[in-house]
Amino acid sequence: MTEVCSNGHTRTEKNTSWVKRGDRPGVRMRCKDCHAAHMRERRGHTGPSASEMQRQATDFLHEDIEDLLKFGATFSEIIERVGYTDWNTMQKSLKRRGRTDLLEALRAKKRAAV
């Protein structure tokens, strides 16, 4: 059976650390996920992290590309409206996220445009 902390995080060697108990002798187990959440809250960062927000923004861009493809936009319209600086940047982003379906559809649009 897997161990979990009081907040429900699964305990593994990667997300658990041992810390000294202040002025008392001994050490205690600390969940790194709970500690990170506590420190964000203590510093006043209660919303999502910057990396989570960037991930969401990229997902929204990819959804926009998908919608534009469904509505029959041309290759140049898609590049212009989505907001990527050029075709190479868009390709890298789609490859990183594993969206090969969109990448192939865009390549077909590009070939048709030429």
Q: Quick check: 43 pLDDT over 70?
A: yes
55 and 43 part of one domain: no
Specify which of 24-28, 33-37, 45-49, 97-101 reaches the highest per-range mean pLDDT: 97-101
Residue-range definition of the domain harbouring residue 75? 50-113
105 and 63 part of one domain: yes
Q: How far from 46 is each of 18, 32, 39, 57, 58, CA to CA, in Å?
A: 26, 17, 10, 19, 21
Q: Quick check: 29 pLDDT over 80?
A: yes
Domain count, the chain: 2
64 and 109 part of one domain: yes
